[in-house]
Structure 1
Amino acid sequence: MLPVLPAGQPKFRRRKADRPDEIIAAAFEVFAQKGFAAARLDDIAARAGVSKGAIYLYFATKEDIFRAVVDQGVAPNLAHIQALAGAPNFPDTLRGAVGLIAHLAGATPLGGIVKMVIGEARNFPELARVWHDRLIVPALGGLTAAIAAAQARGEIRPGDPRHYAVSLISPLLVGVIWRETFLPIGAEPFDLPALATQHVETLLRGMVP
């Protein structure tokens, strides 16, 4: 995950080569807090400690910044899912992977970005397209392939591996949406890592022969 920058950090303390990463990190925060439509380039520039004009040196549009947030701020944290397919002892590997994803969802602004994509996809379909093509397809595909490989080794019961994959992910998505939507109005929170752990153990009881 890209580092979170304190607002207004003086420009002269940073190398020019660092600025794209700093702009992306700032945009990650601003998008999560304000959504895509309400996020202004002025907000991102202020958060990154650069001028608005400096943003245009690296990104032509706000959509380009969002693509960079997905590619550099989110995708690297999900890449380990694709490595599951060749890992031995699928249940233990799955426990570690889901635990890490739950930690990232609970400790970073990722949930705000998820809510933004869901809430604004109708007006900004390119957000959903980027999220689907660059994150959902490889992550869901990697988990599906891992389950299929575990089935071939006899570690997992027969069944549609893609359906299994969706069943594993769904509670975390619901937990993130709950946190982003209902916690601000005082709803009781869920412990995302604990939710993920309980769900994985319960589901594995039905998946493991």
Structure 2
Amino acid sequence: MDTNALDVGRRRAPDERPQQIVDAALAVFGERGLAGARLDDIAQRAGIAKGTIYLYFPNKEELFREVVSRTIVARLDLAERELADGGERGPEAQLRTFMRTWWEFVRTPEFLTVYRLVVGELHRFPDLATFYVREVAGRAFRIVGRVIARGVEQGVFRPVDPESTTRMVVSLIITQAIWTQKAIAAARNPDEVRDDVCAFVFSALRPEAACAEGGR
């Protein structure tokens, strides 16, 4: 282990340690994957002794939960507070704000790392998969679903099913935001793609829009 890194890690204030460990875990999970990461690697990246990790986290799985909580769940907490009720802004303005904010977050290294782990590895960790569905996917769908439901009630959106519509909106944001990170999308400005996604969603939700013949 790098003794200089270890010295720096030990000099950190105790209340900074959990975040220090989480940051190191996120980096190591991104490099080695969830299955391949070892607590020794995380301790080395954090510049601390391996035993220090056990003062805060009993195992790698619990550390992954904390990584998710401090990245994605923290963002959902903020979104839930902002979208708790209609307030002075209507459902359309709230949904637009969520989509733009979530778009920027999805493109961050933190989200991309966790998302790759979720898609590629969580099927091998059933307890973590259940945790992710409950604390991330389920909450995101409920938060956005309530906004869409208010829009339907107020006649701002056409009478869609909030649950299925939310799945489509969130999936569209994630897939398109991630696509903008790929080399094949280099010619497109990410902000333009984001605006296209927003325009597509609100066009589909407008009261006069319908796919079925004769509308709903």
Fold-level similarity (TM above 0.5): yes
Match of 1:118 in 2: 119
SS at match of 1:37: helix
Letter paired with 1:94: L
CA distance 1:191–1:36, change in 2 (3 Å): farther
Match of 1:139 in 2: 140
* Residues 1:150 and 2:148 aligned together: no
Match of 2:213 in 1: none
Shift of 1:191: 5.3
- The 5-angstrom pairing of residues 75-94 of structure 1 reads 75-82=73-80, 83-87=82-86, 88-94=89-95
Letter paired with 1:67: R
CA distance 1:115–1:192, change in 2 (3 Å): farther
Shift of 1:36: 0.3
How many angstroms apart in 1 are the aligned matches of 2:124 and 2:110? Answer: 22
SS at match of 2:124: coil
Letter paired with 1:73: T
Match of 2:202 in 1: 204
CA distance 1:169–1:64, change in 2 (3 Å): same
Larger Rg, first or second structure (1 or 2): 2
For structure 2, which runs of at least 5 residues remain unmatched after alignment? 208-216
Shift of 1:75: 0.5
The 4+ residue runs of structure 1 with deviation greater than 3 A are: 175-180, 186-194
How many angstroms apart in 1 are the aligned matches of 2:37 and 2:175? Answer: 25
- The TM-score, its normalising length taken from structure 2, stands at 0.82
Match of 1:97 in 2: 98
Shift of 1:178: 4.5
Q: Which has the higher contact order (CA 8 A, sep 6+)?
A: 1
> What count of residue pairs does the alignment treat as equivalent?
199
Query: Does structure 2 conserve the Cα–Cα contact (< 8 Å) formed by 1:33 and 1:112?
Result: no
SS at match of 2:107: helix
Of the three residues 48, 51, 54, the one matched with 2:49 is 51
Q: Percent of aligned pairs with the same residue?
A: 29
Match of 1:64 in 2: 62
Letter paired with 1:74: I
For structure 1, which runs of at least 5 residues remain unmatched after alignment? 1-6
Query: Does structure 2 conserve the Cα–Cα contact (< 8 Å) formed by 1:117 and 1:127?
Result: no
